[in-house]
Amino acid sequence: MIEIRSSGNLAKRLNELANLKDVQNAVKLNTTEMHRKATRNASFKGHYDSSGNFIKPTGATKRSIGIEFKDGGLTGVVKTGTHYSPYLEFGTRKMA
């Protein structure tokens, strides 16, 4: 660990940045883990269409799960790229 002693603003700012780097690393680690879990859990079983035919899952939602970092690495976002992913996650009035 490096300690800087100074009465000026430089030492204060350098110490703030050192702590900020630790926060960025924690955000990166946890967001990456969340992405891994989301991808692992995105296993869907398919569905039946209105004619009663079984439709196999395509894997599009699983492939669309992305990771993004914002605010200089202080914010991590994991999200899907398919518009229908909330229905797969939470269901509808016609499906569990």
Give pLDDT tens digits for 7-46. 678 767 767 777 788 889 999 999 999 999 999 999 888 8
DSSP 68: E
Contact 11, 5 (CB under 8 A): yes
Taking alpha carbons only, the member of 35, 93, 92 closest to residue 63 is: 35
Exposed/middle/buried for 67, CB within 10 Å: 0-12, 13-18, 19+?
middle
Could you tell me which residues come within 8 angstroms of residue 57 by beta carbon, excluding any fewer than 6 positions away?
44, 45, 46
- The pLDDT of 52-58, averaged and rounded, is 92
Mean pLDDT estimate for the chain? 86
Tell whether the model's pLDDT for residue 58 goes beyond 80: yes
- The pLDDT of 58-87, averaged and rounded, is 94
Q: Is the dihedral of CA 6, 12, 15, 21 positive or negative?
A: negative
Query: Cα separation of 65 and 77, whole Å?
Result: 10
pLDDT for the residue 49: 86
